[in-house]
Structure 1
């Protein structure tokens, strides 16, 4: 039996992902206001009932903005590694001690019937991670906010049924845009964000490993368009003669449809 995935929102202004299986719901990140998370979930006929955890990838505000209020209001545990807790603890407001959960990057843990594994990614944060979520039959992986794809990330994602993958920016739009030089340099670095071209090349690898669906995520508002990200990835796949993988784009302010995996 598979499980359900939906993007609550995905972009440089806020990120939140929903995964549900057998009455257990979890959020990966909560970078919107608590109200917006609830509204977006309700817009796709999901809600706060059954949420058992909020998993945090890293401490940047577009990933944690609503985590504290959601934990307080709905008594939801927040899971993060130790260094991320050190950086984000004061930003969340008061979180009850029993809802402060610490995992170790690289080691698996269970929430309900779901097996979770956090793996390291490359970003300018304390100890940023992506997640693999497995129910014993199907596997979903989330890898955003990484400046490069290393062998560790490849190894974690290659046997996934669905991958949520960053496609943050078009390189030329970024270079020609209004961002200051230091910010452009940060985004383009190996600890920054994946470009559309980076995502396209990695989608070729994923397709060759048997991955059937990739959702492009964390698009920049200033340096990308959904159509451009999609066309870049799909165009590269076509050039390589690859047709056995489905590509969709997750939007910044609205929830996606619910994907059954």
Structure 2
């Protein structure tokens, strides 16, 4: 059995999010929060083509996750998976696509696609019905968790000890509090339906990293209220304080809003 399982965060940040996942039988995207042209370029940068993508999974309807969904669906004919409430609010934003491409994938379900099992779960974010995904292949798991204001015990249990994890490190609390955002927006980001701070993401990781975990990616960094070195250092320090072997037992990677991470095997 070929157990090759690869991932690349094509883009991750407040300006746009796209993740690429592949197994021997499937090549899929999670979200398409950039222009179709930009996503094509990012795919080329890791030696892959959108012509080969056979599924697109959507987490929620915010523009930094769906900007290119309609374009990709129309141009490449790939089926698009989202839950019913997300479809209701997303449809007007992405334009007309073939009804046969509209696939319903409710939170709490697991769908089987040959050698890839995809499991969805609800998160706490100010969208219609936001959900993220676990991807299972050959006894390995890639867990994605961004765009959530807090992490419930149930969600932590689902993503516990995943082999690779994309974890939100959206903002530095001090930068956000003293930055130029309107107070209402600051409250939204800091609230239970907002985003995880660097510290929140790190503490979640401290609770869920296990012996299987080999790769951790810090994602969805705010370009206004965070800095890559600051997020990395904050998370690294908290993990070390919790006696976790950063850069020894597992690697800690940064992501970028317009540059893909290396296509890496899990």
User: Which TM class, normalised by the smaller chain length?
Assistant: over 0.9
In structure 1, which of residues 57, 65, 68 is the aligned counterpart of residue 67 of structure 2? 65
Secondary structure of the residue aligned to 1:14 is coil
Answer yes or no: is 1:139 the counterpart of 2:141. yes
Q: Which residue of 2 aligns with 1:182?
A: 184
Q: CA deviation at 1:210?
A: 4.5
Asked if the contact 2:117–2:136 (Cα under 8 Å) also holds between the matched residues in 1, the reply is: yes
Q: How far off is 1:117 after superposition?
A: 0.8
> Once the two structures are superposed, what CA deviation does each residue of 1:41-71 show, in whole Å capped at 9, x if it has no partner?
1011111132111100000000000010101
Q: For residue 106 of structure 1, what is the aligned residue in structure 2?
A: 108
Aligned to 2:254: 249
Helix, strand or coil at the partner of 2:231: helix
Aligned residues: 261
The answer to which of 13-22 and 46-55 deviates more is 46-55
Match of 2:264 in 1: 259
Match of 2:35 among 24, 28, 33: 33
Corresponding residue number in structure 1 for 2:57: 55
Give secondary structure in 2 for the equivalent of 1:214: strand
Deviation track 1:85-104 (CA, whole Å, cap 9, x = no partner) reads 00101111111011000012
Structure 1's unaligned 5+ residue stretches are none
Find the aligned partners of 1:205 and 1:246 in 2 and give their Cα distance.
16
Q: Give the superposed CA RMSD.
A: 1.1
TM-score (norm 1): 0.97
Alpha-carbon contact 2:161-2:210 (below 8 Å) kept = no
Is residue 214 from structure 1 mapped to residue 219 from structure 2 by the alignment? Answer: no
Distance in 1 between residues matched to 2:15 and 2:242, nearest whole Å: 33
Query: Which residue matches 2:126?
Result: 124
The 8 Å contact of residues 4 and 24 in structure 2, kept in 1 or not, is answered as no
1:241 positional shift:
2.4
TM-score, normalisation: structure 2: 0.95
Runs of 4 or more consecutive aligned structure 1 residues displaced over 6 Å after TM superposition: none
Counterpart-to-counterpart distance in 1, 2:121 and 2:11: 22
Looking at structure 2, the residues matched to 236 and 183 of structure 1 have their Cα atoms a distance apart, in angstroms, of 27
Using the TM superposition, give the Cα deviation of residue 250 of structure 1 relative to its aligned residue in structure 2, in angstroms: 0.7
Cα distance in 1, alignment partners of residues 263 and 117 from structure 2: 20
CA contact (8 A) 1:23 1:50 kept: no
Q: Where does residue 194 of structure 2 map in the other structure?
A: 192
Q: 1:210 to 1:136 in 2, by over 3 A?
A: closer
8 Å Cα contact 1:53/1:76 also seen in 2: yes
User: Residues 162 and 209 of structure 2 are in contact (CA less than 8 Å); yes or no, is this contact kept in structure 1?
Assistant: no
Counterpart CA distance in 1 for 2:112 and 2:160 is 21
Q: Which runs of 5+ in 2 are unaligned?
A: none
Q: 1:208 to 1:138 in 2, by over 3 A?
A: closer
Distance 1:260 1:209 in 2: 17
